[in-house]
Amino acid sequence: MGDFVRGLFGGQKPANAPAASDDDFADFAGAPSPEPASLSSFTTASAPPSSATSTVGQVPYTKWYRVWERTTIDDFKLELYILPFVLLVVVVHLWGTSKNRKTAKHWMKSHAPILQQEFVQVGYVRPQASAQQDAENPDKMLREKKADEYQTYATGRLNIAFADFKLTLTKRFNPLMRLGEILIGVFFESMPAPDERMEATAYVFDGKEAQIAPGFGKGEEKKSVPSSTYDGFVWAVVHKDLMKRLREDRYDLSLTSTKDHAKLPVWTTVMSENAEISEALLTPELIKAINEAGDKFEALVISDQPMEQPKKLDDTVPRKRISLSLKLQSASNPYDSTLPIFQYFLRIPDLLIQHGRFRPEAMRRIKQTREEQIAKIKKFDDDEKAEERKLAGDKAKKEKRDQLLSRMTAEEQRKYLEKEREREGKRREKKKTIKA
């Protein structure tokens, strides 16, 4: 009766015990056996035989610092391919810089006696007791600016404030760059391949000893110091191969006229502002020195004008200087042929002070050229200032107009702009009438 009532209200029915004679559900009725299943003889026979782990090709374990036991030559194949090129670059660089240094020292040793004879100090250190000692040690007088550029300096001479010397060499240490410069020079005439040359520039006192060297010529010694002034002009003797390029690159030489001289070699020409100046400066010593120098001579320039086109009045102030350009010799060739022109270059200031004053008629055209250039610069400056004043006035008018419009109503602004357009139209009509 109780089971019947529990059945009506959803009670759980008692589970029936499985029949013992039912063999189909024997696996589900019984609990699994805890013993592992045994392998059959078939699976044991078909399994591949086990073998020991292979160690062929594996790096043996060693201490961290025993690198040679863990590496072979095959690990550095890429480095072995690159290393010869690196060594070649280093060797070429060292050879090129050494060759340039030897060429520069050869020039210094050849010219040191003359420089020591003319100047009190040569180089960037205090003068030594013996010129011969300095000549044997050119490093004290020569400074390496770059691998292809060396410089030196000299001062302490009558009529010369100081002199700069620059040696420009080829880029032997960089064959690719050198080849590129040669190819550019072949295809572009305006960019020739650089040559090895010496460029010397002597700056004269021109009567400014008290400003440049305040301690020079004081007391009784000042009475014996002659005047170091001379007339300003531009004059040059140049190699014909460089004449066109120098005229295009240098403003001062563009003021001159070119004329051959019968006493000079056929490969040189004179660039002068006046024929009287050429007759006074072409001395027999200079002509002989140029002939001895031969093709090593490039240019001798006496100038008081800037090399660049002057753009301000300060640029037009005369700065008198003398320049010499010569080709360099290799370390195995002596400088016997160019030493005379180099020595003459150092003594040109003395010649100019003695014979550098010309007749007013000869200097009239030269002064007129400089005055015309000064007038052009003044006019250009006046035009620039007038333009600046005009822009400033326009800006002030615009600000005043904007302030006035900001205080107006919309209707007042409309009327103001209409009147402004009418005035602008009348102004344009007036301009058209004047042009017609």
What whole-number distance in Å separates Cα of residue 11 and Cα of residue 38?
46
- In angstroms, the first-to-last Cα distance of the chain is 136
Q: What is the pLDDT of residue 128?
A: 55
pLDDT tens, position by position, 145-171: 999 999 999 998 989 999 999 999 999
Q: Which of 24-38, 199-213, 294-308, 386-400 has the highest mean pLDDT?
A: 294-308
Task: Give the tens place of pLDDT for each residue, 75-88.
Answer: 888 888 999 999 99
CA–CA dist 179, 108 (Å, integer): 28
Q: Which amino acid is at 146?
A: K
| pLDDT tens sequence across 234-243 | 999 999 999 9
Angle 34-37-41 (CA atoms, 0-180°, nearest 5)? 160
Give the E-state strand segments of 137-246 in sequence order.
143-146, 149-157, 160-168, 197-204, 235-239
- Range 217-244 average pLDDT: 78
**Contact assessment for residue 402 and residue 417, using Cβ atoms and an 8 Å cutoff:** no
DSSP state for residue 285 in the 8-state scheme: H
Closest CA to 111 of 150, 161, 158, 165: 165
Q: What is the pLDDT of residue 184?
A: 87
Q: What confidence tier does 394 reach under pLDDT thresholds 50, 70, 90? A: confident
pTM: 0.72
Q: Indicate the pLDDT class of residue 291, thresholds 50, 70 and 90.
A: very high
Q: Is the confidence at residue 19, as pLDDT, over 50?
A: no
Q: Any idea where the domains of the chain sit in the sequence?
A: 81-217+224-364, 367-435
Rounded Cα gap, residues 99 and 97, in angstroms: 5
Average pLDDT, the chain: 82
Determine the pLDDT at residue 264: 93
Separation in Å, CA 150 to CA 105, 261, 299: 10, 35, 20
pLDDT digits (tens, 9 = 90+) for 39-79: 454 444 454 454 445 555 565 667 777 877 777 888 888 88
Burial class (CB in 10 A: 0-12, 13-18, 19+), 226: exposed
Is 189 a residue whose pLDDT tops 50? yes
